[in-house]
Amino acid sequence: MAFTWASDGTRIHYEVAGSWRGEPLLLIQGLGADRRGWTFQRLALGRRHRLYLVDNRGVGGSGKPPGPYDLEVMAADARAVLDAEGVASAHVMGASMGGVIAQLLAVRSPERVRSLVLACTACSHQQWRRDLLASWARLAEERGMGAVSAKALRWLIGPRHRRRFGLPLSVLAPLVLDASPAAFTSQVAAILGQPDESAGALAALDVPTLVIVGTQDVLTPMADAEELVDRIPGAQLVVLSGASHGLMLDRAGEFNAAVLEFLSTVRGPRAAAG
């Protein structure tokens, strides 16, 4: 386990795992989730890559300063991990909120990003999603995270996959949502506070990009993935049939295979840096 410090003094916790000789891969999880959200990726991706698994501010071992938070600041937190490890550039993979953080990191610091993997994420707001996230934040404040987990899992995994998924929900829930009510609402505020106009900067990216979405993702559905592919020059789209928003959990094998295949094709000067 390792720590670094953000510019505002917040402690950022991260873990280094995988192959010492592999190219660096920075992994950023979504709303309310810490590095354990990548549990099913560690072994498969770690065989070929040096993994840097970040706890966003508010979750895991990272500091939990008063909110609201800001996704731009959280992107700087992720960049601080690369700085602490002396990594000049890395492949960057983000899921859901982590996918937006990864986009911001690529836009603000393109020289630090060898490639992007954007999973179950979006680049612009939809009013229904804003309303849903705001309702989750109110629920966290009023009834605690247990109530949020019960409600959110229907969106993140879905009833069909909850029936099929082998792990009991008592084990799965901490991988998906493990934040205090205050930190959770602060992260929601960061998502809702990110302006849509930042999505316009994606058109200037010159970064190999893979967008992954599941056909059963009801939180960031296919239209969000297609918008990302339209905005980012040369971006590739992989659609996992039957996968939900939590595709790195319920379709881990297919997800890992798609990511590894994409990363194996990313070579050249950017990948040689660092």
Average pLDDT of span 75-95: 98
Burial class of residue 168, CB neighbours in 10 A (0-12, 13-18, 19+): exposed
What is the overall mean pLDDT for the chain?
A: 90
Domain range for 261:
2-272
* Dist CA 227 CA 218 (whole Å): 15
Q: What is the pLDDT of residues 122-150, one digit of tens each?
A: 999 889 999 999 999 999 999 998 888 87
* Dist CA 62 CA 55 (whole Å): 6
Q: What is the pLDDT of residues 29-55, one digit of tens each?
A: 999 999 999 999 999 999 999 999 999
Who has greater pLDDT, 197 or 96? 96
* Dist CA 47 CA 126 (whole Å): 38
pLDDT at 145: 87
Reported confidence tier of residue 250, pLDDT bands at 50, 70, 90: confident
Q: Specify the number of domains making up the chain.
A: 1
- pTM score of the predicted model: 0.92
Q: What is the pLDDT of residues 150-198, one digit of tens each?
A: 788 778 875 555 555 544 444 455 556 678 999 999 999 999 999 876 7
138 to 141, 201, 242: CA distances (angstroms): 5, 32, 31
Which of 7-21, 130-144, 164-178, 245-259 comes out lowest in average pLDDT? 164-178
Return the closest-CA partner of residue 249 out of 102, 151, 120: 120
Q: Is 96 left (phi over 0), alpha (psi -120 to 50) or beta?
A: left
Q: Would you list the DSSP string of 4-61? A: EE-TTS-EEEEEEEE-TTSEEEEEE--TT--GGGGTTTHHHHHTTEEEEEE--TTBTT
CATH assignment at residue 54: 3.40.50.1820
pLDDT at 267: 65
* Dist CA 72 CA 21 (whole Å): 31
- 179: which strand partners? 59
For residue 96, pLDDT beyond 50: yes
Reported confidence tier of residue 271, pLDDT bands at 50, 70, 90: very low
